[in-house]
Amino acid sequence: MLSRHLRPALSLIVVMSLLLGIIYPWIITGAGKAAFPTQAAGSLLYKGDTLAGSHLIGQSFSDPKYFCGRPSATSPQPYNGLASGGSNLGPLNPALIDKVNSNAKALRDADPLNNAPIPVELVTASASGLDPDISPAAADYQAARVARLRSLPLAAVQSLIAAHQRGPLLGVFGEPRVNVLELNLALDQHP
């Protein structure tokens, strides 16, 4: 009697495992690659023939001649996609306050001539710890430093910021933003 119920149950497990564990993902992956080949491959950006990074994941730029993005909350290494997640530190947590102060000091040390208020996203990590974008205000805050260190006119750097600014999704969702990696790659191509 047990075998009468066990055999159909095991057959159903095997069939459903093949269908939902192999065939369905294979079809969906193939459809994704056909419809959105760049996104399915990770939205990768290249500098010439060399992989520079992904449009979707922030990167660390420590050289002051580059724009910097939001700080990463991942550890042990920054912008580690396998360790995505926020720090879970509350606004009154001394560790968060120390981190924000440290980030603000690093920005001030990189550009001691800039006395403007620092945009909040340049000193705080995003919820994922991997955010690749900054606000136009955060890019503008860094523009004079980048222009000075690259011996470029400020207007040229501001023009690159404007050219790489994207509006809200569908004109409604989100805020205007600038992808830091794309902007830095454009800077490297600028004469």
pTM beyond cutoff 0.85: no
Least confident segment among 36-40, 64-68, 121-125: 36-40
Q: Where are the beta strands (DSSP E) in the chain?
A: 44-47, 50-54, 133-134, 165-166, 177-179
The whole-angstrom separation of Cα 183 and Cα 83 is 25
User: What's the whole-number average pLDDT of the chain?
Assistant: 88
Q: Which residues of 137-166 are buried (b: 16+ CB within 10 A; e: fewer)?
A: bbbbbbbbbbbeeeebeeeebbebbeebbe
Under the banding of pLDDT at 50, 70 and 90, the label for residue 145 is very high
pLDDT value for 185 = 92
Under the banding of pLDDT at 50, 70 and 90, the label for residue 25 is very high
HSE-up (13 A, CA, CB side) for residue 160: 26
